Structures are given as C-alpha cells and as structure tokens.
C-alpha cells in the first residue's frame, strides 16, 4: 500500500514544535510493509489542506493526517477530509459522552465548543481518545482511505496503537520486524568486520549503525507474520552474540543502565557510586530505572577535592601528588564509596569534562574510572578526544556510559579483575 502523511498545524510551520509524529508514523508504517511516499505539513488553512489531500488521493492508497481536531474554529481537518469523500458530519453520541465524561473527571465545566469534537463523518470507523477529548477516525471510499488522528503525541500514539493499527493491519500483506543488537566498547567498523558475511544476508538483513558513542547491528526480516519474521531473526541474533560476546549489552531499547540494574539484581549485588566529573549523572541514570532501590542505596558526588577527602577518605597526599584526575584517586574514591555505603561493588569517575581544563596540563576528555568490590578492581583510562565547544555534555554522557559498562564487565569478567587493591593503592 502507498501512504502519505499530512501534518496539519500552523505551529509546525512556525517551528514552535518539533514534528515527532512524522518519525513515529513513518516507522510504524514501514513495519506494516507500507511505502510512505510523501510527508507534508500544511497550516490550519482548509484550501491548502484540500489541495494536498486531492493530490495525495491521486497518488496513494492511504493518507494519515494528524492535528486540527481541536475545539476552535481553526480546527478543520475533519471537515475538510469528510468533504473529500462527500460525507456529512454527524454527532457521534458515544464520543459526545466521552467528551462530557472527560470534563466531569476533571471536575471542570465543559465548554460548548468541545461538542464539535464529537462530530464524525458518516460511516467513519471511530477511534476513541484515551488521553484527550478529540476522537479520531478512518473513512474510506473506492479503496482510498483517510485516517484522521489528533496532533498531541500522547493522544496520537495511543490512538494509533489501539485504533489505527488494527484498522491498517487488514491491508498489510507482510510485516517487517527489526531488532537492534546493542554493543558497547567497539567502533562501528570493527563491529561490522566481526559481523562479516552476515552483512550480506538478504532476509533478514543485518546493517551496522553508530549512535552517540555506541554501535549497533539492526537485524530486519520481512515475512507474512510476526512469528515468521521472529523465527528468521532469532538465529542471526544468536550468531551475532556468539561473535561479539560481552560487547553486546542488550537487544532493542535496553539502555546501558537497564542492563546494569538487571545484572546486579540477577547476581544479588548492590552498587554505590562516587562521581566527580559526571556530577550525579550515573546515580541519576541508575535511579531512572524503577526498582533501582533493590541494588542502589548510596551515591556520592564529590565535585571538590575537599569532599573527595572528607566524605570518601581520599588521602590528600594522593590528590597533591597525582591530581584529582588520576588512576590513584579514582581507585581511592571507589574504595571510599564502598566503605561509606557498605555496598558490594562501587564505581568511581574522575575526569575533565570541559569546556575548560583543570589547573594541570591534563587534556579535556581525560577520565579515570574505577570499579571495586573491596578486594579486586578494574581501572579504565578514557580519552574521549572531545575538547571542542559544547563537548561537556558528550564527555559526561560517554563517561557515565563507560562507567556503567565497566560495572557490567567487572561482574561478568570477574576472573580478570584479580589485582589486589591495597597493594595497588600503596604502589603510588
């Protein structure tokens, strides 16, 4: 099926809002095996909308609109779409009741103008709105379809999933399913090299991508049903995992923090953090995950040397001799967090996020990370290579990701963490 997307809203033409609906719907339609030929944005202008719909209906089988379903006079998407198929608007009683109920639940009086939102083109398949007042719908004539959805993403996503998607699935002859194998600590080209001849497969296809310091392999299959597609994909993901080993930290959306929290829970271990340049970002990312309290109780942000000493017990001699950004201080910070918290494992980060360096000649982007269980440890020196204007965010994000990954590897590769920390600290 050929599709076009029409986004209605002067606020989009003025740049007041970012059009995330475009990406959302394009992805969903690609997964249904539909071809999206055009995306178009028009203002709240019935003449221009008519023009766009007319052209679209000549070229394509399905048009999806978002926006212009509000209660004001400007909001005319439904009216214009109905007129394309010469359909009158009629009051849809169930929708009217929903609009009334929506206001009742908020204990607010319903403005008369909201009634208009319950008007529907005759014969439309109506989609209810669980997150707002504007229902959506699908209308059809001579094999051409117009799907009318609200503009606010919260409302549109839910309505698409529950209403439009089941409607569209009937017209889908095949599905396209993708899974992403997410890796950490390997560049895109080296990852691609390890994937080797898998990249030449036809169904599923395997394609490498790089994204904010991570590399991933996307495995995409085309099949008649979801199950068939998953069956094609599973062995390929298995083979990729074989080849990449612990470089793979998750499949699909799982963020690094999700992977680490899940691993700690599985191993029944608790974690503490001691952060300097990341300034709380690691703790924040861990506690982004619901249920993090099972494995996380204590984080220390020791942004100044005084706090590194007074709260984490880092010896002033180490700070003076090696500077705050050093292997010795990272190790000592981790040990201090472990002691202060009583956690099983502690991770520390100290580095120079930029834009300015500290008062040493160390480069912006130099970061030391230490992980310890009080006996063994793992130390990582990171040079992000980023010192340009605006590097601060990048350096902090990457440092936090690498630190989380080091925790993961510390736990997974216990055998290789055999150094005795007391003698290590003494060696400085």
In the region spanning residues 49 to 108, those forming contacts with its own copies, defined by CB under 8 A, are 52
If the CB atoms of residues 183 and 220 are measured against its own copies, the closer one turns out to be: 220
Q: Does position 311 bind its own copies by CB under 8 A? A: yes
The region of 92-100, 103-111, 160-168, 391-399 touching its own copies under the rule CB under 8 A is 391-399
Our CB check for its own copies shows the closer of 61 and 90 to be 61
> Which of these segments, 14-22, 76-84, 261-269, 375-383, binds its own copies (CB under 8 A)?
14-22
Among 32, 42, 82, 219, indicate the residue that binds its own copies (CB under 8 A): 42
Q: Measured from the CB atom, is 45 or 246 closer to its own copies?
A: 45
CA distance linking residue 238 with residue 248, whole number of Å: 11
Residue 203's nearest CA partner among 170, 224, 229, 182 is 229
Q: Among 22, 125, 158, 165, which residue interacts with its own copies (rule: CB under 8 A)?
A: 22
Site map 321..340 versus its own copies, x via CB under 8 A: -------------------x
Are the CB atoms for 244 and 194 separated by under 8 Å?
yes
Q: How far is residue 255's CA from residue 168's CA, in Å, rounded to a whole number? A: 31
Distances (CA, A) of 58 to 35, 95, 189, 326: 15, 31, 44, 66
Task: Pick the piece of the chain touching its own copies (CB under 8 A) from 7-15, 81-89, 230-238, 325-333.
Answer: 7-15
**Binding residues among 277-306 for its own copies as defined by CB under 8 A:** 277-284, 286-288, 290-293, 296-304, 306
Cβ contacts of residue 393 below 8 Å, gap of 6+?
none
Side-chain half-sphere CA neighbours of 34 within 13 A: 25
Task: Report the distance separating Cα 323 and Cα 318, nearest Å.
Answer: 7
Residues ≥6 apart with Cβ < 8 Å to 406 = 347, 369, 371, 378, 380
Tell me whether residue 218 or residue 243 sits nearer to its own copies (CB atom). Answer: 218
Please list every residue from 164 through 203 that binds its own copies, using CB under 8 A: none
Q: How far is CA 23 from the centre of its chain?
A: 13
CB 187 within 8 A of CB 247: no
Indicate the helix (H) or strand (E) that contains 259. helix 256-267
Write the interaction track for its own copies spanning residues 352-371; mark x where CB under 8 A is met and - where it is not.
--xxx---------------
Q: Which of 8, 28, 129, 332 binds its own copies (CB under 8 A)?
A: 28
Least Å distance, CB 251 to its own copies, is: 18
Rounded CA separation 61/78 (Å): 18
Alpha-carbon span 302 to 273, nearest angstrom: 10
* Binding residues for its own copies (CB under 8 A): 12-15, 17-20, 22-30, 36-43, 48, 52, 273, 275, 277-284, 286-288, 290-293, 296-304, 306-307, 310-311, 340-342, 354-356, 392-393, 396
């Amino acid at each position: 099926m050929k599709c076009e997307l029409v986004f209605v809203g002067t606020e989009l033409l003025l740049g007041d809002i970012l059009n995330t609906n475009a990406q959302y719907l394009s992805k969903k339609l690609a997964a249904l095996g539909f071809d999206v030929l055009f995306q178009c944005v028009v203002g709240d202008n019935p003449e221009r909308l008519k023009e766009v719909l007319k052209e679209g209906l000549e070229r394509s089988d399905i048009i999806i609109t978002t926006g212009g379903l509000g209660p004001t006079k400007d909001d005319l998407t439904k009216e214009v779409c109905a007129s394309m198929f010469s359909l009158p608007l009629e009051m849809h009683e169930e929708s009217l009741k929903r609009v009334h109920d929506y206001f009742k639940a908020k204990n607010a009086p319903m403005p008369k103008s909201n009634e208009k939102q319950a008007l529907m083109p005759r014969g439309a398949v109506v989609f209810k709105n669980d997150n707002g007042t504007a229902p959506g719908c699908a209308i059809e004539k001579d094999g051409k379809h117009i799907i009318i959805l609200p503009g606010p993403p919260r409302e549109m996503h839910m309505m698409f999933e529950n209403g439009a998607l089941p409607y569209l699935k009937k017209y889908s002859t095949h599905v396209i399913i993708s899974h992403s194998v997410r890796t950490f600590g390997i560049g895109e080209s080296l990852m691609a090299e390890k994937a080797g001849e898998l990249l030449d497969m036809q169904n599923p296809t395997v394609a490498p991508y790089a994204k904010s310091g991570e590399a991933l392999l996307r495995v995409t299959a085309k099949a008649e049903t979801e199950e068939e597609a998953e069956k094609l994909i599973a062995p390929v993901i298995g083979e990729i995992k074989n080849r990449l080993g612990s470089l793979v930290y998750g499949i699909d959306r799982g963020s690094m923090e999700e992977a680490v929290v899940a691993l700690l829970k599985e191993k029944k271990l608790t974690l503490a953090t001691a952060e300097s340049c990341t300034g709380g970002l690691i703790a924040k990312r861990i506690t982004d995950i619901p249920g993090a309290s099972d494995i996380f109780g204590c984080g220390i942000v020791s942004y100044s040397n005084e706090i590194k000493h007074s709260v984490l017990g880092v010896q002033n001699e180490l700070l003076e001799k090696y500077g705050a950004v050093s292997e010795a201080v990272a190790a000592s910070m981790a040990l201090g967090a472990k002691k202060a918290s009583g956690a099983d494992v502690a991770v520390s980060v100290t580095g120079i996020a930029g834009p300015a360096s500290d008062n040493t000649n160390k480069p912006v982007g130099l970061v030391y990370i230490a992980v310890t269980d009080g006996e063994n440890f793992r130390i990582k020196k990171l040079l992000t290579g980023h010192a340009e204007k605006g590097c601060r965010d990048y350096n902090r994000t990457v440092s936090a990701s690498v630190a989380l990954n080091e925790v993961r590897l510390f736990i997974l590769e216990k055998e290789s963490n055999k150094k005795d920390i007391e003698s290590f600290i003494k060696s400085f």
